[in-house]
Structure 1
């Protein structure tokens, strides 16, 4: 297994943002956003570089095709956040509480997702490279058709995850606290699991191959 290359985010001295609502194609550099309500705002195609986003509300916020580079997102929360086609590179995400986040077609590279809970994230067709999930809960995460390379899930709970048509390389599930695979049990080639996880997943493997256990 090749080790995950983790982000090294070193934020400069930040300036508090006081520019009002976000703007599509906006360019945000070296800014700190704190306790802002971005509900239903649109920053489609915007670029956030060397930024900190702390405890901001993202209900139905449109961030499709946005780029987050060398940035930190901490305590963000929201329902229906649109991050489709977004790019996150060298980013730390901490204690996020998101529901129904749209990340299909997104690209995540050198990203750490630490703590928090993400319900029903749509990661269909996404590309994850050097991504570390740590101590978080993912409920019914949809990775269908995604590409995962050097991805770890340490101390995470994966509930009813969908790995249909996923392509994996150097994916480490051994550290996960719980792994419940709803679909795509046959797509674990390229992943490593523990002996205990193998026993837990045995019924799903048997069902996939048509073996009846009595």
Structure 2
């Protein structure tokens, strides 16, 4: 699956020091690094051609943020409310988004790699050309998603919620899980490994006698 990477023009960037996030602010051509913010509350802030590096934001409500051509490196946005976010050509590498709320967000050409997003919430999100690679997504909420070309590669998705999400064409064969929360009818067309098949047989209430 081809995913367009962020079109980053680092030579155009200046260093930005943020002390507070204010609603309806625009950030363009900025390098934002080595900052820690908490208890932020802002709405509809947009970022374009921006790199976040070693940034930590906690206990904050940041709804309807927009990210275009943005890179996150070594960032921690755990337990942040990013509901209703719009992301296009955005990459997260070696980040933490534990318990982060991405519900009702729209993501296209977005990559998450080597990151931890346990208990994150993507419920009712629209994901198109989105890839998760080598991520921990234990108990993440992927329920009622609109999926168009999503990749889960070598991820731990144990106990993830996938109820109401049509998994046709999704390859879970190299992911790690002992159980998932889902409806059996949503599995139609999903690709799994022979080992994983035993898990789904158990979900159907069938007992295998040795």
Residues of 2 paired with 1:170 and 1:26: CA distance? 39
Report the TM-score, using the length of structure 1 for normalisation: 0.88
- Could you tell me whether the CA contact under 8 Å between 1:17 and 1:31 is conserved in 2? yes
Query: Where do 1:1-214 residues align within 5 Å?
Result: 4-12=1-9, 13=11, 14-178=13-177, 180-204=179-203, 206-207=204-205, 211-214=206-209
Residues of 1 paired with 2:16 and 2:189: CA distance? 43
Shift of 1:113: 0.3
Residues of 1 paired with 2:152 and 2:119: CA distance? 17
Shift of 1:134: 0.4
Counterpart secondary structure, 2:150 = strand
Residues of 2 paired with 1:139 and 1:117: CA distance? 9
Report which of the two has the higher share of strand: 1
Shift of 1:39: 1.3
- Could you tell me whether the CA contact under 8 Å between 1:107 and 1:126 is conserved in 2? yes
Report the TM-score, using the length of structure 2 for normalisation: 0.90
Shift of 1:169: 4.5
Shift of 1:100: 1.4
Residues of 2 paired with 1:74 and 1:190: CA distance? 35
Q: Deviations over 1:25-58 (max 9, x none)?
A: 1101111110211211133211111101112112
Query: Mind listing any 5+ residue stretches in structure 1 that lack a counterpart?
Result: none
Residues of 1 paired with 2:37 and 2:186: CA distance? 37
Tell me: CA distance 1:55–1:198, structure 2 relative to 1, closer, same or farther (3 Å): same
Query: How many residues are paired up?
Result: 207
Query: Mind listing any 5+ residue stretches in structure 2 that lack a counterpart?
Result: none
Q: Deviations over 1:160-179 (max 9, x none)?
A: 01111113343221232446
Out of 15-24 and 146-155, give the one that drifted further: 15-24
Residues of 2 paired with 1:72 and 1:128: CA distance? 18
Aligned-residue Cα RMSD (Å) equals 1.8
Counterpart secondary structure, 1:170 = coil
